[in-house]
């Protein structure tokens, strides 16, 4: 690429496994020393030495793919726009520092809620409770950042997958006994994050704000059922139920990508885990 490239040209980025499409003009809104702004000034060979490419020849950046959406929004709008009760401000600031977006980093710092002063103000104003002739002073319990009471650590997590059995040509070569397209995770957000940590892909979840809500839009970054079960077991979850069904080979999206033998074995399974 060169500086003469049209600023409206579309460029695809793979950030931590999440794909984004934007224009060179948007990337050029970053500070001149930012790696994002530098992309438009480099040729293909130079880009490879800094970022590399993925299997589809997209520029690959090994950073948090979910949080990059806010970085891109900031470049497009020149203002910070975060969901209500956004809980990953510190991680986003790390990303802003990595991309050398000083203005974004300053905005994150300036817009940070001053919880310490709020707690101090609450504790300095006591709740007067009069019982008969005696007046007792009770400090008000700080509720900053809480959701009206303690967050429950008990609950259900449902793990589901759609798969088949993969066969080699003529059923002889390179036999793979199980073929899973994706492992889905449903449940309360903070429980899912606690259990699966960095293996949880949140890129398809529309709201990254409140953590005490429920979602059915998470999936795992791997396709190993046993790894998912081990992580649930380590977090003291027990399986309390499961269900299985066959899929229609004529309408299954996975079926379109497999041969007729694999279509015969298409299935969908769900496993219900509970922690008391």
Query: Which is nearest to 38 in space by CA: 69, 70, 11?
Result: 11
Please give the residue that has the higher pLDDT: either 255 or 111: 111
Strand duo 267-275 + 238-246: pairing = antiparallel
Query: Cα–Cα distance between 149 and 101 in angstroms, integer?
Result: 37
Give me the helices (H) in the chain, please: 24-27, 35-39, 44-50, 68-77, 89-98, 102-110, 115-124, 189-196, 225-234, 260-263
Domain-located, residue 231: yes
Domains identified in the chain, total number: 2
* Same domain flag for 164 and 270: yes
pLDDT higher than threshold 50 for residue 188:
yes
What are 44-47's contacts with CB under 8 Å, separation 24+?
44/1, 47/1
Give the residue numbers spanning the domain of 189.
155-275
pLDDT higher than threshold 50 for residue 269:
yes
Q: What is the pLDDT of residue 176?
A: 64
Domain-located, residue 219: yes
* Same domain flag for 165 and 262: yes
Q: What is the pLDDT of residue 265?
A: 81
Query: Cα–Cα distance between 18 and 25 in angstroms, integer?
Result: 21
* Same domain flag for 14 and 103: yes
Domain-located, residue 79: yes
Domain-located, residue 126: no
Query: Cα–Cα distance between 58 and 148 in angstroms, integer?
Result: 45
Q: What is the pLDDT of residue 210?
A: 67
Domain-located, residue 242: yes
The least confident of 97-111, 152-166, 255-269 is 255-269
Query: Cα–Cα distance between 39 and 164 in angstroms, integer?
Result: 41
* Same domain flag for 84 and 176: no
From 45, 80, 110, the end of a domain falls on 110
Q: Give residue 226's pLDDT band: very low, low, confident or very high (50, 70, 90).
A: very high
Q: Give residue 87's pLDDT band: very low, low, confident or very high (50, 70, 90).
A: confident
What is the DSSP secondary-structure string of 40-89? TT--HHHHHHHT-B-TTS-EEE-S-TTTHHHHHHHHHHSS----TT---H
Please give the residue that has the higher pLDDT: either 9 or 91: 91
Q: What is the pLDDT of residue 208?
A: 62
pLDDT higher than threshold 60 for residue 83:
yes
Residue pLDDT, tens place only, 110-163: 877 654 444 444 455 444 444 444 444 444 344 334 444 455 789 999 999 988
* Same domain flag for 101 and 171: no
Q: What is the pLDDT of residue 250?
A: 54
């Amino acid at each position: 690429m060169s500086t003469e490239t049209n600023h409206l040209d579309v460029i695809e980025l793979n950030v931590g496994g999440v794909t984004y499409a934007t224009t060179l003009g948007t990337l050029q809104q970053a500070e001149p020393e930012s790696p994002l702004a530098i992309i438009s000034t480099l040729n293909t060979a130079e880009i490879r030495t800094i970022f590399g490419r993925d299997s589809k020849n997209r520029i690959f950046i090994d950073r948090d793919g979910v949080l990059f959406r806010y970085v891109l929004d900031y470049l497009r709008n020149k203002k910070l726009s975060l969901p209500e009760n956004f809980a990953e401000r510190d991680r986003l600031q790390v990303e802003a520092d990595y991309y050398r977006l000083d203005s974004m980093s300053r905005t994150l710092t300036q817009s940070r809620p001053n919880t310490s002063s709020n707690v101090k103000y609450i504790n300095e104003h006591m709740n007067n409770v009069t019982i008969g002739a005696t007046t007792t002073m009770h400090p008000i319990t700080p509720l900053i950042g809480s959701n009206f009471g303690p967050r429950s650590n008990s609950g259900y997590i449902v793990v589901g997958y759609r798969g088949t059995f993969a066969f080699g040509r003529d059923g002889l070569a390179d036999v793979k006994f199980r073929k899973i397209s994706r492992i889905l995770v449903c449940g309360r957000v903070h429980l899912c994050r606690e259990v699966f940590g960095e293996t949880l892909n949140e890129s398809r979840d529309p709201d990254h704000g409140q953590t005490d809500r429920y979602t059915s839009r998470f999936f795992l970054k791997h396709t190993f059922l046993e790894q998912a079960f081990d992580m649930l077991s380590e977090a003291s979850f027990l399986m309390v139920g499961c269900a299985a069904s066959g899929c229609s080979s004529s309408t299954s999206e996975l079926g379109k990508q497999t041969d007729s033998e694999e279509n015969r074995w298409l299935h969908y399974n769900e496993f219900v885990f509970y922690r008391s």
